A and B are shown apart, each in its own frame.
Chain A
Amino acid sequence: MQKHLEYIWATLALLTLFAFLLGYLKLISTFFIAVLLGTTFIKGQLVIDYFMGLNSVAMRYRIIPTLWLGIVLTLIGVAYYLPLTASQ
């Protein structure tokens, strides 16, 4: 289990580095925004499941933060894609 936790941490750190590099190297495009939001969802879900420990709890409690994360990130995506599509 301890090793498992280390893998979770390493995944979170790598995905954070990936997000930073996207910004640092100015690689942000319509495609990469979708990738960035997708990796942010994965990071959030890892925290919900393994740090908050909700993967071993009744679904009704786990689904609330998961839905929150999914809805917020989807709507952020909608907000960013609408003007980009309109201006292209």
Chain B
Amino acid sequence: MSHSITVKEKYPPGDFAIWIIIYVELVTFGLLFLGYAFSRRADVALFNASQLLLDQTSGFINTLILITSSYFVVKAVKSITSMDDTDAKDANIKASRHLLFALALGVSFLLIKMFEFYHIFGAGITLSTNKFYMFYIMLTGFHFMHVMLGSFILFVMYKKTKEIGYGFGDYRGIETGASYWHMVDLLWIVLFPLVYIIR
């Protein structure tokens, strides 16, 4: 009779400090999500009417973009963590290809979001227009800044793979950056239905 025992890692992947940041970010965004949801109760008609001006299609495309980008980041991390001490060059080249796709998708997200902001601000909408837009601009603007930082981190990781900078056993950096990027993805997964779909 054979037994298979799955040994769990003691700590999450990457630097432990990033997980403190991730947990704090989750709580911060969680409070904003709940602020939106409970504020909506006070004026459902206003929230529903204001939501009509949002482009659900671009929200949908941006969700697909972030999910796909996260997928490529996982592939990049796997390329690095599964290398042995003889194929560092191949692993870095593979990872750089995946990271480039992930980065391109991150930039696409930013461009689509900027277009959306341009449309919203062009219509004369600001933070003080009404409560819905205050939350919309705050939530998506705050998330936008996280995508910008995440894209910069992806770029730094991409540059390092291009320089064959990750060696055997040296994957803490790429795991740390990847964890941050997945958090950005996780936040958008909740934000998309909350702000764009539920009415």
On A, residues with C-beta under 8 Å from B are 1-2, 5, 8-9, 12-13, 16-17, 19-20, 22-24, 28, 33, 36-37, 40, 43-44, 47-48, 50-54, 56-59, 61, 64-65, 68-69, 71-73, 75-76, 79-80, 82-83
Tell me whether A40 and B193 are in contact in the complex, defined as CB-CB below 8 angstroms, given that A16-B63, A61-B19 are known contacts: yes
What number of residue pairs across chains A and B have CB atoms under 8 A from each other?
130
Cβ A23 vs Cβ B56 within 8 A: yes
Q: Residue on A with the closest CB to B10?
A: A58
Q: Does B199 belong to the interface (CB within 8 Å)?
A: yes
User: How long is the Cα–Cα vector from A1 to B6 in the complex, in angstroms?
Assistant: 16
Cβ B198 vs Cβ A56 within 8 A: no
Some 29 contacts from A to B, beta carbons below 8 A apart, are A1-B78, A2-B75, A9-B67, A16-B63, A33-B198, A36-B197, A40-B189, A44-B189, A47-B189, A51-B73, A51-B185, A52-B13, A52-B179, A52-B183, A53-B74, A57-B13, A65-B23, A68-B23, A68-B27, A69-B190, A71-B30, A75-B34, A76-B34, A76-B37, A76-B194, A79-B37, A79-B41, A83-B41, A83-B44
Cβ A5 vs Cβ B71 within 8 A: yes
User: How long is the Cα–Cα vector from A76 to B198 in the complex, in angstroms?
Assistant: 10
A8, A56, A73, A76 — most chain B CB neighbours (10 Å): A76
B residues 39-76 touching A (CB-CB < 8 Å)? 40-41, 44, 56-57, 59-60, 63-64, 67-68, 70-71, 73-75
B residues 1-44 touching A (CB-CB < 8 Å)? 6, 8-13, 19, 22-23, 26-27, 30, 33-34, 37-38, 40-41, 44
User: How long is the Cα–Cα vector from A24 to B58 in the complex, in angstroms?
Assistant: 12
Interface size class of B (residues with CB under 8 A): 35 or more
Point out the residues of chain B lying under 8 angstroms from A13, CB to CB.
64, 67-68
